[in-house]
Structure 1
Amino acid sequence: MLHINRSIAILSFLVVMLCLSGCRSTMDEISQNPNRSEVINPENLLTYLCINTFSPNVHGLERNRNNFYMDWRFGGAHLNWLRRNFTAEYRFVTISNQMKKEAERLGYDEYIPLQRFFNAYWMFITTRLYGDVPYSESNQADEGIFLPKYDPQEDIIHGILQELETANQELAVHADKRVSGDFIFDGNLHKWRQLVNTLRIRVLINLTQKQTIKGESVQQLFADIINDSENNPLMQNLEDSPIRYETNNPNNYFIYSQNDFISGYRITKFVADYMKDRQDYRLTRFAQPTIYAENNGLDPNDLQNYAGTNPWPNQENNVNYQYEDSGIISRINNRYHREPVGPPTMVIGYPEQEFILAEAIVRGWITGNAAQHYENGIEASFKYFEVENRSMAYLQQPLVQLTGSNTEKIDKIITQKYLNFFMAGSYEPYFELRRTGYPDFAAYVAPDISTLYNNGRLPLRYLYPLGEINDNKQNITEAISRLPGGDQIFSKMWLLQGQDGLRNPSPFPFQ
């Protein structure tokens, strides 16, 4: 009996092993889904990157509140920056890298410079939010790097500039080609090349508190791009901008379609008063007339029928309650939340490029007519917001013209850039405020710091993600050691360690 049982056990073992050996060759076959592709076409990944990079989805409402374009109807409680994750930014870098891999597999080399653009775009946002972050070893899990090192910010930004310079050169090689999956430029690689170079000068103008980067003159790097337009083409008009139009996308406004636009959000006093003082009819595209004006059928083209909420009201005597009770306050324009097809989005483009060039001329980085570039930017912005017939009269006003000291000129240029970013600028208006001290909100709004976090001081960075502190402790500890003041919101990253004689001497809110 023992012998039979032993034989059965041995036979059973052999049968099991035979089944396993047979299944080993067929498991992969039966696991394959014949209806699911094992590869991803780079054009599909390009479409995904365009949808997210150039859309309001990522650059949404909270950014506009933090940048004081709009506020809750009673105002207050800003500057509460603590800890956030950077997985959203790195997700797009991961997808961009995957696009490159698929392009290399298929021999579609024309997609590779686009990958360089998207990596540079998202990494530049990420490093400006935190300081030192993973760069050279990021997204390399396939190579066994699960705990990437944190590169110094100077190395990151220098690397970004090199990537963009390479992308510009590669796009010149592929000038006669078109890419599929591109609904922004319809596959036109020359326009992508112009965009790459606009991003290059955006990166460099952010270095106004530095003289050099990795031993190279910031001013000379900027001038080298501008003084060789044949090899570094820039945008020539608004139509060269990567504008995401929504004609064929009736669901684009889902991010805005919420009751808060009616019951809660109001334009801010700074935006309303600054624009009214200059007869800026872009205000009619930013906001609705006051609730009182709408209810009484008053003229929507009379800018005196617009008013904003105070984002920093007195805690005990909040004037916003009076504004709200009397209806003398403006909601955000209905087109952002009511129209079946919402407005276009421009996160980077020709107006910004022209304001950058105007600033560079004022700073003496390049030669040229600063006023002309400044006016080009304003005219293009008016066209983008569909009030181009009002731009000529606007530019003739003394308050608008690019006159005064260099500091006053920087004030006007940056404030115009700020207005152009309305509902689309993501973190850029904050980065500009941090860099230049403009817009000068204190000129129109008296702050009460009792309604602000951090005693009204402008946070300079986000704290590092808690997950990284727990899981990548050695590398993040090294990064924190390079940050004066440690992992704090007021610690100055490398980008901010310097002096700028044209910076607003009394910026608000700042330390």
Structure 2
Amino acid sequence: MKTKTLKNIAYLGVGTFLLLGNTSCTKDFEKINTPPTSVTSVDPALLLSRVLRDGTFQESGEVPNNKFGSWVQHWAGGPVVPVSRYFEGPENLIWSQHFQLLRNIVQIKQELKGLENDPAGRSKLAIAEIYEVYLYQRLTDLFGDIPFSEITQSSTTINRTPKFDKQEDIYPALVQHLDAALAKLTAGDSSYGTADFFYGGSIDKWKKFGNSLKLRLGMRMRYANPSLAQQTVTTALSSEYGLLASNADNAAVATFNNAQAENQNPILRMFTTGSADLRYLANTLVNTLKTYDDPRLPLLAQPVTINGNTVYQGIGVALTDNELSQLIRANYSTPNKSTWFSLTAVAIPSYAMTYSDVCFYKAEAALLGWGATNSEAHTQFVNGVKAAFALPPYNLTSLPSTYEQQVLSFTGLTDAQKMEKIGTQKWIQLFGRNMEAFAEWRRTGYPVLTPGPNPGSTNGKIPRRGIYSSEEAELNEANYKEAVARLSNGDSFLSKVWWDKR
């Protein structure tokens, strides 16, 4: 019996599909029904390129900016963006986008099957599996319990109604999966080359990325499972794999300013194609930078002229209809039209993880005595801020002396006050990375944010999670209902995910 792979459609979780193989046992049928140019496999490198690009751009896209970016008060949407005003709505697009990316990673595994211990495929598989952990963490951080252990992984077992695993079980599993993937990375193996948008095929840099992701997983569990958090963090800090050690190690996708380019920066795309309501900065972000006399402010925000004076002014978040109707939009700052919104300046990369992230985690770990002493916290904190200043579009190579001596000083502060400074600087640095900013704000509680005046559907409280896809509720009803029953406030913005204890 002769077999030939034909592409068919099968589920990878509810509402999401996976290209899988099917077989034919009829020789004549195969000849008649298979065009001579039929594609029967997909290059794993092409799949990885798409996954890294789309996965990274989703952090800065229109929906995350409007929703999570406004919740953490980086952005301030108007009436065309109801979720920014605390009105509930299911996260259908975000849910389906993540499972689409996970589908492609499963396809990479299918294409490299049999090469798990071969230099031709071993490290390629490991890289895909590391990024798979990255995506699963982001998905569970947004929603809490999600389909995980029963997701389709092959063409022989297709589960259309996977259970929702508890987040408290997913996190330890992600650490185990990450350890296994890191152990496979081997210098000298074949890699993805230029198709790897993060590291150009560098296996050593993927080791650093994977281990830095482990550090992030550990710190996210800090308040929910302190013992596992400490174990995970300390092993990552001491690992031979290393951590992101400079901005040269940042995981980023290059972008272009051309409005027709496939890789246009998502923030720039909002300016060229989106509603004006999507473009304004929140007063919380602008006022914080003004208070600090932060040199990043004029490089981030567009100045406006009011009564002959040049000022930076953000819009209040979650305003009422009456308040919005009285706004004169020309009086409020958008991201700077010479940097973030420029069609002529050097394009700003879209980041997945940075050296600055790692420094802030190391500073927090030092405060806790996890792998470092408390006295080392300030050094790592300042290193994180310096790295954030040096990122495009700021490109600031040093800190003003007054900024370092006053804004960043730890002198006379309690550990809680030091942590507030770390959390606030991380919040500034995460501008444009909305899902991560939302996760870290919920985890640390910093900066302390005041909800906007519009009550929305949360009685004026800032949301704590996303709402499950309505498609999942319809097509996987029993498992969806079981997961919702575990939530303190049902499938709403106000339920908290497992690690959210602040």
TM-score (norm 1): 0.80
Pick aligned residue for 2:35 from 20, 28, 33: 33
Q: Distance in 2 between matches of 1:196 and 1:161?
A: 10
2:198 is matched with: 184
Aligned-partner residue type, residue 366 of structure 1 = G
Q: What's the offset of the Cα at 1:487?
A: 3.2
2:7 is matched with: none
Structure-2 change in CA distance of 1:471 and 1:364 (3 Å): same
CA RMSD between the two structures = 2.9
Q: What's the offset of the Cα at 1:236?
A: 0.9
The CA deviation string for residues 257-278 of structure 1, in whole angstroms up to 9 with x for no partner, is: 4365767632221111111121
1:366 is matched with: 371
1:237 is matched with: 246
Pick aligned residue for 2:467 from 463, 467, 473: 463
Matched, 1:483 2:496: no
Q: What's the offset of the Cα at 1:175?
A: 5.3
Q: What's the offset of the Cα at 1:108?
A: 1.4
Pick aligned residue for 2:332 from 329, 342, 350: 329
The CA deviation string for residues 417-446 of structure 1, in whole angstroms up to 9 with x for no partner, is: 1111112x131111122222211234xxxx
The CA deviation string for residues 122-173 of structure 1, in whole angstroms up to 9 with x for no partner, is: 11111122222111111347313221122121211111111111122211x3
Name stretches of at least 5 consecutive residues in structure 1 with no aligned partner. 1-22, 299-303, 504-511
Pick aligned residue for 2:208 from 167, 178, 194: 194
2:228 is matched with: 217
Asked if the contact 1:278–1:397 (Cα under 8 Å) also holds between the matched residues in 2, the reply is: no
Aligned-partner residue type, residue 396 of structure 2 = E
Indicate the larger mover: 428-437 or 182-191: 428-437
Pick aligned residue for 1:401 from 409, 425, 432: 409
Asked if the contact 2:465–2:495 (Cα under 8 Å) also holds between the matched residues in 1, the reply is: yes
Name stretches of at least 5 consecutive residues in structure 2 with no aligned partner. 1-24
Structure-2 change in CA distance of 1:203 and 1:320 (3 Å): farther
1:162 is matched with: 176
Q: Distance in 1 between matches of 2:490 and 2:77?
A: 33
Q: What's the offset of the Cα at 1:54?
A: 2.4
Which of the pair is proportionally richer in helix? Answer: 1
Pick aligned residue for 1:89 from 95, 98, 105: 98
Asked if the contact 1:40–1:102 (Cα under 8 Å) also holds between the matched residues in 2, the reply is: yes
Q: Distance in 2 between matches of 1:456 and 1:406?
A: 30
Q: Distance in 2 between matches of 1:25 and 1:375?
A: 68
The CA deviation string for residues 51-110 of structure 1, in whole angstroms up to 9 with x for no partner, is: 112235764432433332122479995223442232211111110111122122565121
Asked if the contact 2:123–2:190 (Cα under 8 Å) also holds between the matched residues in 1, the reply is: yes
Aligned length: 454
Structure-2 change in CA distance of 1:36 and 1:333 (3 Å): farther
Indicate the larger mover: 451-460 or 37-46: 451-460
Aligned-partner residue type, residue 282 of structure 1 = R
The CA deviation string for residues 306-360 of structure 1, in whole angstroms up to 9 with x for no partner, is: 22112255776x49946x37x5432221133341563211131111111111111
Q: Distance in 1 between matches of 2:109 and 2:196?
A: 15
TM-score (norm 2): 0.82
Pick aligned residue for 2:311 from 305, 330, 341: 305
Q: Distance in 2 between matches of 1:314 and 1:59?
A: 25
Identity, % of aligned pairs?
24
1:44-443 aligned at under 5 Å gives the runs: 44-55=46-57, 59-60=61-62, 61-62=65-66, 63-72=68-77, 78-85=85-92, 86-105=95-114, 107-140=120-153, 142=155, 143-171=157-185, 173-174=186-187, 177-180=190-193, 181-212=195-226, 217-226=228-237, 228-229=238-239, 231-246=240-255, 251=261, 252-253=264-265, 255-258=269-272, 265-292=279-306, 305-313=311-319, 318=323, 321=326, 324=328, 327-334=330-337, 335-340=339-344, 342-368=347-373, 369-385=376-392, 386-393=394-401, 395-403=403-411, 404-423=413-432, 425-442=433-450
